[in-house]
Amino acid sequence: MSFTAQTIDQLNLLLQFDSSSLDRGLKVHSNTRRELIEACLVLFEKGLVSQSDGGYLTNAGVEARAHAQALAGLLRGD
């Protein structure tokens, strides 16, 4: 299994959520790049975000974001 462009978009979108506060959500606007709109919709369908256009991370989303952040750190050499 390898990362696709769509998977990378989803990972990058997860990393946009503020890890210091669950009270801060994201809004993906209709004029955003089509790939990011689709990534957000997939994250919603997977139950990782609360709304199809962003919203807040769900409990599963918080866990997924933590994994994505850890992976990003490992790949950067942090």
DSSP H or E segment with residue 50? strand 49-51
**DSSP code, position 22:** T
* Residue 44 CB contacts under 8 Å (≥ 6 apart), including other chains: 50, 51, 52, 55
**DSSP code, position 32:** S
Write out pLDDT tens, residues 19-71: 887 788 999 999 999 999 999 999 999 999 999 999 999 999 999 999 999 99
How far apart CA 33 and CA 50 sit, in angstroms, is: 20
pLDDT of residue 77: 84
pLDDT of residue 6: 96
| Strand, helix or coil for residue 41 | helix
